[in-house]
Chain A
Amino acid sequence: MNKLLNEEVTNQVKEFLKPMKEAITFVLFTKSGECITCEETRALLNEVSALNDLISLVEKDLEINSDEASLFDVTLAPSFIILDKDGVYQGVKFNGIPAGHEINSFLTAVLDMSGLDYQLDPAIIERLSKIDKDVNIKVFVTLSCPHCPGAVSKAHRLAMLNSHVNAEMIEAQTFSALSQKYNVSGVPKIVINETHELTGNQPLEAFLDELERL
């Protein structure tokens, strides 16, 4: 396969990753047989991890490594999570390839996980720290959606800041059956614990309002 990132994009990504502070690990789950975008996602993660010494990549097979998959609650392929410097899963997951506009939420998650301070309002952090129920946030996206990465990054930040919260991007076209199950016909669509829904790139306050209502 040809390289996914051309020279210009490679340099851009390298530049983006410069402020990284701590080591992080991608754990990628693919599967053999038919798998839409498994190859491309593997190439993306390989090429990106080669651009900064602080990134390592571990590859797993969804079926063969089913123990690890269930440890991180991975049920789809391709799917990957980002572990922090201590190898701890902070609830940051991508299902499907974060290409197109979603490259932004991908690189944002990398920087955030590697210890960058994202300067949230203390009032928001205070509200978030009080959430003590388990929360799963699904953010459905398409790769041509300019408003989607903002929603994904917010969900991921909530996950990184509260250990009860995990958040996942779901690329709606790759996982069309899942999108249908959740009646996705517009993105970003945010589903919280299966029952609560938000649409559009909402401010963090709107996420918190829903989390507090759970």
Chain B
Amino acid sequence: MFNFDIETTKETTEFDTVQLWDFLIIGGGPAGLNAGLYAKRKGLKVGIIAVDIGGQLHNTTDVDNYLGFSLVQGKELSDSFLKHVTDLDVPILKQTRVTAISKFDAGFLVKTDKFQDFRTKTLLISTGGQPRKLRIPGEKEFANKGVSYCTICDAPFFKDKHVIVAGGGNSAAESVLDLVPWAKKITVVHRSQWRADKILLDKLDKLDNLDIHLQTQILEIIGDEKMTGLRVLDKTTNEERVISADGLFIEIGTVPNSKFVEGFVKMNDNNEILVDDQQMTSVEGVFAAGDITLQPYKQIIISAAEGAKAALAAMTYLNHK
């Protein structure tokens, strides 16, 4: 009934602006939190700077593929991660966005939107991703006039309505399941084939108010005051048609939050950060982990594991420097 996400006096541990940190972590999702845990246990002077704690775990209700938990709420998992990290007294600076990173003699200067700068010998970029947009006509115009990127936030507005879910991965399938208690009818539109886990697709099979259009590309979102439907292209027949609907939930993956390090570390064409097998980026001493990296499987357990790896690699790096 209550989802806490603000600092307590206990958590606002002295986040030192003067000291030279060993390992500063940017991002408080699974990757950043696990890196904090591992680095602290190794005895590094470690701190976490994050806009929020939990990252994308907040955008999902059920998680059923994290080892050890058959079914857990995203928020609950995030809370247990945070507790584990705060029990070890890892300082966390919340509600703070890192705006730029630069190099100086002894390491790196981290600039934030709180007008405080921090200095560190090594650092981890684990800033994850945010919802990817379709980039089609009407998307901007009808944002919050039918078009949504957050199913758990906005599902209640579509009670007894017909909604479309765009996408074919796990988050699209989960979005459908989150809409079931509200919507009268749900239609999935995806430009290729399903990529979602079979276990989720089996759940969708049991729904009787679900329509699925695969190999179907969304060309335009149409409407007047609010969205009224989509113009789509059926790629098998090469025919265009209109699907009427009251809402569109866009669940087509994420784009990396890497803008603030553009030009600082090397990235691929998707703006994902390139890392080596030690999670080190093109800049020595700067590591990256989780959804922000080029690693294609964007999952909680994988992000957490990469965070652990980065912390251990940073330790090795500091020892050999």
Contacts and interface: CB of A to CB of B under 8 A. Distances in A.
Interface of A: 4-5, 9, 12, 15-16, 18-19, 99-101, 103-104, 107-108, 119, 121, 142, 144-150, 172-173, 179, 183-187, 189, 199-200
Given A104-B4, A104-B6, A146-B3, A186 B58 contact: no
A16 B153 contact: no
Contacts of B148: 185-186
A183 B1 contact: no
Nearest to B57: A146
Nearest to A108: B6
A163 to B, nearest CB: 25
Contacts of A142: 153-154, 156-157
Given A100-B1, A121-B115, A186 B6 contact: no
A88 to B, nearest CB: 24
A195 to B, nearest CB: 16
Nearest to B144: A186
B147 A146 contact: no
B1 A4 contact: yes
Contacts, number: 92
B152 A185 contact: no
Nearest to A14: B8
B129 to A, nearest CB: 15
B115 A184 contact: no
B152 A145 contact: yes
Name the prevailing secondary structure of the A interface residues. Answer: loop
B319 interface: no
A184 B157 contact: yes
Interface of B: 1-6, 8-10, 52, 58-59, 95, 114-115, 143-148, 150, 152-158, 225-226, 247
Contact of A183 (B143, B153, B226, B247): B226
B153 A147 contact: yes
Nearest to B10: A15
A186 B1 contact: no
A148 B3 CA distance: 12
Please give me the 3 A-B residue pairs with the lowest Cβ-Cβ distance, nearest first.
Answer: A186-B144, A145-B153, A146-B58
Contacts of B152: 144-146
Contact of A147 (B150, B226, B247): B150
A12 B150 contact: no
Given A144-B153, A172-B157, A187-B154, A15 B8 contact: yes
B156 A99 contact: no
Contacts of A179: 157
A189 B154 CA distance: 11
Nearest to A19: B9
Contacts of A101: 3, 5
Nearest to B145: A185
A200 B226 CA distance: 17
Contacts of A147: 150, 153
B198 to A, nearest CB: 28
Contacts of A149: 5
Contact of B247 (A100, A108, A185, A200): A185
A100 B2 contact: yes
Contacts of B59: 146
A15 B143 CA distance: 38
A127 B152 CA distance: 35
Considering residues B58, B147, B157, B225, which has the most beta carbons from chain A within 10 angstroms of its beta carbon? Answer: B157
A186 B157 contact: yes
A103 B3 contact: yes
A101 to B, nearest CB: 5
B139 to A, nearest CB: 13
